[in-house]
Amino acid sequence: MGYTTAQNFTLNGYIQDSINRETLTKVQIIATDSDGKELRTTTNGYGFFSLTLSKGSQQISVLKPGYLSIKETLLLDKHLNRNFYLSPEAESLDLVTILANQNNNVKSLDMSTQTISGQTIKKIPSLLGESDVIRSIQLLPGVSTVGEGSSGFNVRGGSIDQNLVLMDEAPVFNSAHLFGFFSIFNPDAVKDVELIKGGIPANYGGRLSSTLDVKNRDGNKRQFQANGGVGTIFSRLTIEGPIAIPEKNLIRTPRKIPARSSFIISGRRSYIDYLAKPFLNSNLTGSQFYFYDLTAKANYSYKRDNLFISTYIGDDVFTAQGLFGVKWGNSTVTGRWNHVFNKRLFANFTYYYSRYRYNLEFMNRDATFNWQSYIVNNSTKADFNYYLSPKNNISFGFQTTHYRFIPGKAVAKSETLDLKFGLPDRYALESAAYLSNDWNANGRFSMRVGIRFSQFSYLGPGQVYVYNRIPGKQGVLDTTYTTKNGEVVVNYFNPEPRLGFKFQIDKTSSIKGGYNRMVQNLHLISNTTASVPFDVWQPTTNNIKPEIANQWGLGYFKNFGQNGEYEMSCESYYKSLQNQVDYIDGATLLLNEYLEADLLNGIGRAYGLEAYVRKATGNFTGWISYTLSRSERKVIGINDGNWYPNRFDRLHNLYVVAQYKLNKKWDLAANFVFSSGTPSNFFSGQYSVQGYVIPDAGSNARNNVRIPNYHRLDISATYTRKKTKKYKSDWVFSCYNIYNRRNPFSIYFSTNYQGKGQNAAIQFSVIGSFVPAISYNFTF
Amino acid sequence: MKLDFNPNKLSKTIRRLLFLAMLFAQFACEDIIQVNVQNQSKKIVVDAFINTINKIQTIHITRSIGYFDSSRTEPPVTNAKVAIIDQTTLPGKLFVFTHEKNGKYHFTPNPLTGDTFTIGHDYALLIVIDQDTLLSLSRLHPTAKIDSIRLVDVEGNGPPINTTGKYIELIANDIKGKGDFYWIKTFRNDSFLNSIDQLNISPDMGNTSIKEDGQLFIYPVRYSKVNDFSRSFKSKETVRIEIHSINGLAFAWFNLIANENQNGGLFATPPINIFTNIVPYNETKKIGLAGFFCMSAVASASVVIP
């Protein structure tokens, strides 16, 4: 054994950006003792680390891509609390880049996990020159989308509601602006983004397919700073700075002392409505069509405590005066408290409120009709990291969330009428507790074993519907009854084991594997090709069972090149899904009191292979990602009970992302996307009854035909100017879909097309031409 | 009340709105393309809408054709034996339909001999084609009474009313009690306005989601859907409105046809097969079936435009 605490000391602290004092996540700290024995850890989501090391001289390396590494020798003869400050690469005088990753992707236990920094996102050529979080992660292996104009993203054959999208710990229910052309995350405010597709650790739960954890920046603690941009479609502005500046800073000093607290406020607003105004006909002149979002955050640190409060509010608004109005958006508030109990125990307590809402209004001269729908949740959680020993890192915690669903409240008003109707509210309580241990057996083998227990209660007050069901058929209402406030209608309890292992083959290669079971109790009810903002979120009820997924994954990780600058991974996965929600043909999903009668229950499976090569450092960076995958479903009542491909099933996905730093002024970038066509249903026959032509799909095969493949090339060039020491600006020239391809989004059928008596197949392209754009960004 | 709260129509409206929104982006486009699909199954199609009007009643039996077949000539089924049986009378009264031509089977009602359909009775449609027997059931429900057809002068000021002139409003009350369904047909000089956009079907007074019942049909039913707003009525023209009683299943069937017809674009739902109430009674081989059997009572009123 040879291991006793007497000979060991703990080194702990935070790691921050040397310039603005942002805490840095996922930073590697590697300690090498005089015998060459290596121990490593990474900072947690709050930039905290703790390493227990043997007494004596230790060489400490602190590494993060995009930052200059620190190498320092410490003599450890007592417990040491020590912060490290990393300098951003761009701040260095020449373009020397230091190999920062030190085989982390090979050596860490994480698999099926991708991290992108705000910096990388900004470099990827994008639609209308506006970099975007969700559209960037759509270029990663295992991630795909139905097409432009579809909200959300699909991970490893999962539907869009199976991704847990977190913004500063609060879940958001619709991450899209403008039907998915942009996401709600303002890249200027984003610190980093982590997408976990498999081997999902026990602290995450509630969705089947992935976790997208977006962490926003805390704000510059040293000096006031503003940055923003003027683009073709919207403008952005971010202001950040210290609150309560230390007195010493009021005297001009070259290196200002960071404040204890800072803030960041970041906003965007689109101006499509102003641009479109001249093109609108007279009865649409009063129309508005825009989105906005505002992200604000403040923090305060004192000794062992950090407090954060952050909020997001955003809406998409689309109204035509006197005709209709549509509005939808998320809002969140998160409060967090980090506390370092002792050198090995770190805790974070979170409260969040998250709401998604949409509102629909129709009007004419005499009457108005207004319909609103909400999903509101309040949650508290506690997460602990306990750095037990050099070989064991334990994390544990619990969470409880209260949900309120307001599926539809409608008001119809006219001179003679004031009618209120809609669907009854629904309530639910979800709780979870987890425990996980990262165990480093020896240099070669390490393992993560975790368990999460989740519990979901569908609560009163409300109406409970009991249906008689024949599989595959519409349910027949048996009874309904009313429940009292807080009365439990039904309880579901699910254990969710999580497992991961790593076997180190040599310094630059390893094999990793994992298993995870996930449970989902919120279901997005949608039967359209693309998800619409009006899709209804439903809780698990007595009629809708919790969705369950089991995923197995195995991967090979290898770094190569002169300095190991190329990272390569090859991963395979198999996922089996239970209680997938589908619909009877012709189901009515909106304002339908008996919606559950129209829902069918099926199973799913998804499997695939992902290959990924990335060059993270140097003047030339980028990645190639290829995914071979299948995603299928089997539901009694659909497709004669046989397996059929999901609407978002794509066999091949090839993404190439390349960025080249030409010189100090010019950056060039390009990306190429190829995806196999998605499946669709085609009509094959027709007949007429009572003079009405009725199309016919023949046999009941669902998604039996493929629409053509999708491919696209985007390019961009960025010209950076440094006017003064503080004022920096850049111009981004970009072109999306440069070879002008009309990528089909869907093919649909028009019976009696334009009233000419002919039936037609129509290919619908959301973006049917190349889209050039210029945008201007600044920082001062 | 001038609004319709049918959720199906609502989702359709939303879909159209969003579609419009997408076109705002300017980059969207639509192309007509050639698609190679084969009509795998030539389904037997039964068009059997029978009513109480004292005129020749027709059941049309054909086979479905390919989706892109623009000839629109559906092959007729000419060798069928077709009859309707009154299941309420004992023994069941038989109404035999004889083949006229092109798959059209006729029956002429005769009030003098009592060969008429009776409101409240249950009817069965029996069709024998080769060795296969097909069956369908329908009750003949009572229909709403028409009070009058009112003429209204409307100024056309943009969509949906483009032409200034005379339009009509149907003054009729729904039958008291829940669960009545109607198909309201407008005839202009004896020709039925059969555009799918004007398909006018109504549960009770036009809305299942509110409590009221037995009153005037709601505005969209009594006004919006009985007019063709691209053409106002001219002097000397005859307008006739018929209210056919249908049942809930027929209502759902019509509704699906209307929905399917407006499906498309970004937020399209998967194409579906419209169900049928024609079922195989004993079949020697699996045959594809489509179409509908519905018995209707009819109230009718007409007006000559002054």
How far apart are the C-alpha atoms of A407 and A336, rounded to whole Å? 30
The DSSP letter of residue A672 is E
Rounded mean pLDDT of A237-253? 73
Cβ-Cβ contacts under 8 Å for A137 (sequence gap 6 or more): A114, A116, A143, A153, A193, A195, A212
| Tokens found for residue A207 | 């969705």
- CB of A763 within 8 Å of any CB in chain B? yes
Query: How would CATH label the architecture of A5-102?
Result: Sandwich (2.60)
Q: By C-alpha distance, which of A701, A147, A637, A51 is closest to A389?
A: A51
Q: Mean pLDDT, chain A, as a whole number?
A: 86
Which residues of chain A lie closer than 8 angstroms to B39, CB-CB?
A: 684-685, 698
- CB of A683 within 8 Å of any CB in chain B? yes
How would residue B52 be classed by pLDDT, with cut points 50, 70 and 90? Answer: very high
pLDDT value at residue A64 = 85
- Best interface-test mutation with B: which of A360, A418, A593, A686 has the largest number of B CBs within 10 A? A686
> Looking at the predicted structure, is the pLDDT value of residue A417 above 60?
yes
How would residue A101 be classed by pLDDT, with cut points 50, 70 and 90? Answer: low
> Looking at the predicted structure, is the pLDDT value of residue B8 above 70?
no
Which residues of chain A lie closer than 8 angstroms to B14, CB-CB?
A: 326, 360, 532, 534, 590
How far apart are the C-alpha atoms of A423 and A405, rounded to whole Å? 10
Q: What residue has token string 């498309």?
A: B264
- Best interface-test mutation with B: which of A366, A600, A690 has the largest number of B CBs within 10 A? A690
> Looking at the predicted structure, is the pLDDT value of residue A249 above 60?
no
CA atoms within 13 A on the CB side of A626: 6
Amino acid identity for residue A196 in this structure: I
Answer whether B43's CB lies under 8 Å from A685's CB: yes
Residue B237 and residue B146 in one domain: yes
| Tokens found for residue A33 | 């003792």
Residue B80 and residue B157 in one domain: no
- CB of B256 within 8 Å of any CB in chain A? yes
pLDDT value at residue A1 = 39
pLDDT value at residue A114 = 86
Whether residue A689 and residue B47 make contact (CB cut-off 8 A), yes or no, is: yes
pLDDT value at residue A280 = 54
Max avg pLDDT among A176-180, A280-284, B5-9? A176-180
Residue B149 and residue B291 in one domain: no
Amino acid identity for residue B43 in this structure: K
Q: Counting Cβ atoms within 10 Å, is residue A510 exposed (0-12), middle (13-18) or buried (19+)?
A: buried
Q: What is the pLDDT of residues A525-562, one digit of tens each?
A: 887 766 677 778 899 999 999 999 999 999 999 998 87
Q: What is the pLDDT of residues A17-67, one digit of tens each?
A: 988 888 998 888 988 888 888 888 889 889 999 998 888 889 998 988 778
CA atoms within 13 A on the CB side of A245: 15
Which residues of chain A lie closer than 8 angstroms to B63, CB-CB?
A: 687
Q: What residue has token string 């609560």?
A: A459
- CB of B20 within 8 Å of any CB in chain A? no
* Domain tally, chain B: 2
Residue B210 and residue B286 in one domain: no
CATH number of A114-779: 2.40.170.20
Residue B92 and residue B122 in one domain: yes
How far apart are the C-alpha atoms of B148 and A102, rounded to whole Å? 87
CA atoms within 13 A on the CB side of A373: 18
Closest residue, chain A, to B23 (C-alpha): A766
For chain A, the domains span 5-102, 114-779
Interface contacts A/B by beta carbons within 8 Å? 238
Rounded mean pLDDT of B108-119? 92
Nearest C-alpha of chain B: how many angstroms from A609?
29
Does residue B209 or residue B24 have the better pLDDT?
B209
Answer whether B261's CB lies under 8 Å from B9's CB: no
Residue B157 and residue B127 in one domain: no
Q: What is the pLDDT of residues A719-728, one digit of tens each?
A: 988 777 778 8
How far apart are the C-alpha atoms of A634 and A582, rounded to whole Å? 10
Is B218 a domain residue?
yes
Q: By C-alpha distance, which of B96, B84, B88 is closest to B120?
A: B88
Answer whether A460's CB lies under 8 Å from A427's CB: yes
Q: Counting Cβ atoms within 10 Å, is residue A80 exposed (0-12), middle (13-18) or buried (19+)?
A: middle
- Best interface-test mutation with B: which of A417, A535, A688 has the largest number of B CBs within 10 A? A688
Whether residue A362 and residue B199 make contact (CB cut-off 8 A), yes or no, is: no
pLDDT value at residue A100 = 47
The DSSP letter of residue A67 is B
Is B263 a domain residue?
no
Residue B150 and residue B222 in one domain: yes
Assign residue A476 a region: left if phi > 0, alpha if psi is -120 to 50, beta otherwise? Answer: beta
Which residues of chain A lie closer than 8 angstroms to B65, CB-CB?
A: 685-687
Cβ-nearest to B209 among A283, A421, A694: A421
How far apart are the C-alpha atoms of B138 and B117, rounded to whole Å? 12
Residues 244-303 of A with CB under 8 A from B: 272, 276, 283, 289
Cβ-Cβ contacts under 8 Å for A5 (sequence gap 6 or more): none
Rounded mean pLDDT of A67-88? 88
> Looking at the predicted structure, is the pLDDT value of residue B279 above 60?
yes
Does residue A590 or residue A675 have the better pLDDT?
A675
pLDDT value at residue B1 = 35
pLDDT value at residue A256 = 64
- CB of B36 within 8 Å of any CB in chain A? no
Which residues of chain B lie closer than 8 angstroms to A762, CB-CB?
A: 30-33, 264
Q: First and final CA of chain B: distance in angstroms?
A: 29
> Looking at the predicted structure, is the pLDDT value of residue A8 above 50?
yes
Which residues of chain A lie closer than 8 angstroms to B155, CB-CB?
A: none
Does residue A127 or residue A400 have the better pLDDT?
A400
How far apart are the C-alpha atoms of B292 and B272, rounded to whole Å? 16
Amino acid identity for residue B207 in this structure: N
pLDDT > 70 fraction of chain A, expressed in percent and rounded: 92
What are the phi and psi torsion angles at A654 (to 5°)?
A: -120, 125
Residue B213 and residue B189 in one domain: yes
Q: What is the pLDDT of residues A296-348, one digit of tens each?
A: 999 998 888 999 999 999 998 887 776 778 888 999 999 999 999 998 899 99
How would residue A5 be classed by pLDDT, with cut points 50, 70 and 90? Answer: very low
Residue B114 and residue B146 in one domain: no
pLDDT value at residue A232 = 77
Whether residue B7 and residue A592 make contact (CB cut-off 8 A), yes or no, is: yes
Q: Across-strand partners of A696? A: A685
How far apart are the C-alpha atoms of A352 and A668, rounded to whole Å? 40
For chain B, state the CA radius of gyration. Answer: 21
Cβ-nearest to B290 among A367, A530, A696: A696
Amino acid identity for residue B232 in this structure: S
Whether residue B1 and residue A414 make contact (CB cut-off 8 A), yes or no, is: yes
> Looking at the predicted structure, is the pLDDT value of residue B27 above 90?
no
Cβ-nearest to A767 among B27, B45, B274: B27
Q: Across-strand partners of B146? A: B172
pLDDT > 90 fraction of chain A, expressed in percent and rounded: 45
CA quadruple A205, A211, A212, A213: dihedral positive or negative? Answer: positive
Closest residue, chain B, to A276 (C-alpha): B24
Q: What is the pLDDT of residues A553-567, one digit of tens each?
A: 999 999 988 777 899
Residue B133 and residue B156 in one domain: no
Lowest-pLDDT choice from A515-519, A616-620, A720-724, B267-271: B267-271
Q: What is the pLDDT of residues A439-482, one digit of tens each?
A: 988 878 999 999 999 999 999 898 899 999 888 888 899 999 99
Q: What residue has token string 């009819």?
A: B298
Whether residue B273 and residue A697 make contact (CB cut-off 8 A), yes or no, is: yes
How far apart are the C-alpha atoms of A19 and A85, rounded to whole Å? 8
Max avg pLDDT among A631-640, B13-22, B239-248, B260-269? B239-248
Whether residue A694 and residue B69 make contact (CB cut-off 8 A), yes or no, is: no
How far apart are the C-alpha atoms of A554 and A560, rounded to whole Å? 20
Lowest-pLDDT choice from A33-37, A108-112, A459-463, A763-767: A763-767
Cβ-Cβ contacts under 8 Å for A107 (sequence gap 6 or more): A40, A502, A504, A510
pLDDT value at residue A751 = 75
Amino acid identity for residue A594 in this structure: Y
Residues 351-410 of A with CB under 8 A from B: 360, 362, 364, 366-367, 369, 371, 410
User: Residue B133 is part of a domain; what is its CATH number?
Assistant: 2.60.40
CA quadruple A254, A255, A259, A262: dihedral positive or negative? Answer: positive
Range of B158's domain? 142-246
Closest residue, chain A, to B199 (C-alpha): A692
Answer whether A432's CB lies under 8 Å from A454's CB: yes
Q: Across-strand partners of A20? A: none
Name the packing angle between helices B7-24 and B248-261 (round to 10°). Answer: 0
Residue B159 and residue B115 in one domain: no
Assign residue B52 a region: left if phi > 0, alpha if psi is -120 to 50, beta otherwise? Answer: alpha
CA quadruple B163, B164, B166, B170: dihedral positive or negative? Answer: positive
Q: What is the pLDDT of residues B130-169, one digit of tens each?
A: 888 999 999 999 999 999 999 988 887 666 677 788 999 9
| Tokens found for residue A654 | 């090839």
- CB of A566 within 8 Å of any CB in chain B? no
Whether residue B37 and residue A702 make contact (CB cut-off 8 A), yes or no, is: no
pLDDT value at residue A770 = 83
How far apart are the C-alpha atoms of B44 and B133, rounded to whole Å? 12
Q: By C-alpha distance, which of A372, A371, A352 is closest to A362?
A: A371
- CB of A591 within 8 Å of any CB in chain B? yes
Q: Coil, helix or strand for B199?
A: coil
pLDDT value at residue A655 = 96
Residue B109 and residue B54 in one domain: yes
Q: What is the pLDDT of residues A185-239, one digit of tens each?
A: 998 899 889 999 998 999 999 999 999 999 999 998 888 999 999 887 789 999 9
